[in-house]
Amino acid sequence: MPHLVIEKFKQPQLPATYEDMRYLYVATNRHFTNEKLLCVEHASKERFFLVVKEDAEKTLLKSDKTTRPASVSLLHKALRGYAKLADLNVLASNVPQESFNPHLKETPALKTIEYFANEFPTDKEVHIEVGFGSGRHLLYQAKHNPDILFIGIEIHRPSIEQVLKQINIQNLQNLLVIDYDARLFMEQVPSNIVGKIYVHFPVPWDKKPHRRVISKSFITEATRVLKVGGRLELRTDSENYYAYSYETFMSFNKIELEIKKNKEIAVSSKYEDRWKKMEKNIYDIAMICDVHSEELTIEGDFHFDSVELDKKALEALHAKKIVKEGYFVHFERVYVIDENKELLKLSFGSFDRPEHLYIYIEGGRASYFPHEPLRSKVNIAAHKTINGVLHHG
């Protein structure tokens, strides 16, 4: 994770600007005062936190996992910029001095979940690849099918940067990339618009099967978003994953499957090439959709009523947990910005796929930071509980 080891954290008069980064405020943990959050805003209006961790000998200035920006180059720039703005004595660093790459200067293909939640592109047939890795298959498909919109989902940052670079080099106009959990992303896809969903060589997660992409809920969502004749294609070298997936598909009352072994495809990953040399078997399961689904509708919003809790009651939320049927809410930490502003760090929603966000509170008004939760039924239910706690106590 990008970080600076500094002799001492110093805070100039804020807000302050360095190049295209604006440093807005510092929030201090109410229970552990050696931890602080530094709010950063890029010229693009993207906001995120840097974390300050202090001890007797040195201080760490690093990325905040909850709000980290989609582009790691922004994070690098924010760390370097603050060090210069505040004249910090940097003892050690893993942040490159220059993160400029001519092929990553602009990355319009990199989208946030809010983009898809608010304006999902529907003017073309959509193909989705889950966990694209090196991107060899995804880039090949996009280049050879210009009339189809491809969406690549990946959480490995170096892989994302590599594909974004190739998108710019090859001038691909039909490929978008998102850093997000594929299982949650599927809930934002409109019904009946997807031609293919590729799940090629997913992590088997033999010891943590609940983390597998293929599941009954994922297959249900895939069926909804696929058009009639659309395909969900799993490709794996793991016999265990193949057997588990086949059993999961067959647990549905009605389903059409196509199964092949050691099938040749137009382009393979470097890992697949390696496995073939090792004479490992490759398994393919394709589910063919034969139903037209209803449009997805989710009622509710993320509006907050006024916050009625006083500072002492807000402070008491530290580590508070609420467990309901189907979801949970965990108020993890409480931060103070000044006399009128507070921050709450929390996780909530699905037990398997929770949201991790902050709530910014000022003058009795609350809002999520850096963005609203993903619009899903379970998140809206959790929000009602959060709103009730802040409004009624």
Q: What are 235-292's pLDDT values in tens digits?
A: 999 999 999 999 999 999 999 999 999 988 888 777 777 777 888 899 999 999 999 9
- Supply 48's token pair: 């995120």
Rounded distance between C-alpha atoms, residue 377 and residue 15, angstroms: 37
Q: H-helix or E-strand containing 385?
A: helix 377-392
- Supply 285's token pair: 């399961």
Amino acid at 250: M
Q: What is the DSSP pairing of strand 21-29 with strand 35-42?
A: antiparallel
Q: Name the residue with tokens 């608010």.
A: 118
Please, which residues bridge with residue 334 across strands? 344
Q: What is the CA radius of gyration of the chain?
A: 23
For position 102, what pLDDT does the model report?
56
| Cα–Cα distance list, 297 to 187, 258, 293, 312, 385 (Å) | 10, 31, 12, 39, 21
For position 181, what pLDDT does the model report?
85
Selected from 3.30.230.70, 3.40.50.150, 2.30.110.10, 3.40.50.300, the CATH number assigned to the domain covering 110-288 reads 3.40.50.150
* Cβ atoms < 10 Å from Cβ of 212: 19
Burial class of residue 105, CB neighbours in 10 A (0-12, 13-18, 19+): exposed
3-state helix, strand, coil in the chain (%, to 5): 25, 30, 40
Q: Name the residue with tokens 């909850």.
A: 66
CB 164 within 8 A of CB 156: no
CB 73 within 8 A of CB 44: no
Q: H-helix or E-strand containing 175?
A: strand 175-178
| Domain boundary assignment for the chain | 3-93, 110-288, 311-392
CB 192 within 8 A of CB 127: no
What is the separation of C-alpha 388 from the centre of its chain, rounded to a whole number of angstroms? Answer: 27
Rounded distance between C-alpha atoms, residue 117 and residue 96, angstroms: 34
Name the pTM for this structure.
0.75
Q: What are 305-327's pLDDT values in tens digits?
A: 999 999 999 999 999 999 999 99
Rounded distance between C-alpha atoms, residue 125 and residue 138, angstroms: 15
- pLDDT per residue rounded down to tens, the chain (393 residues): 889 999 999 999 999 999 999 999 999 999 999 999 999 999 989 999 999 999 888 899 999 999 988 778 889 999 999 999 999 999 999 998 765 555 555 678 999 888 898 889 999 999 999 999 889 999 999 999 999 999 999 988 889 989 999 999 999 999 999 988 888 899 899 999 999 999 999 999 888 888 899 999 999 999 999 999 999 999 999 999 999 999 999 999 999 999 999 988 888 777 777 777 888 899 999 999 999 999 888 889 999 999 999 999 999 999 999 999 999 999 999 999 999 999 999 999 988 779 999 999 999 999 999 999 988 889 999 999 999 999 987
Q: Name the residue with tokens 């495809």.
A: 265
Q: How many residues does the chain have?
A: 393
DSSP state for residue 210 in the 8-state scheme: G
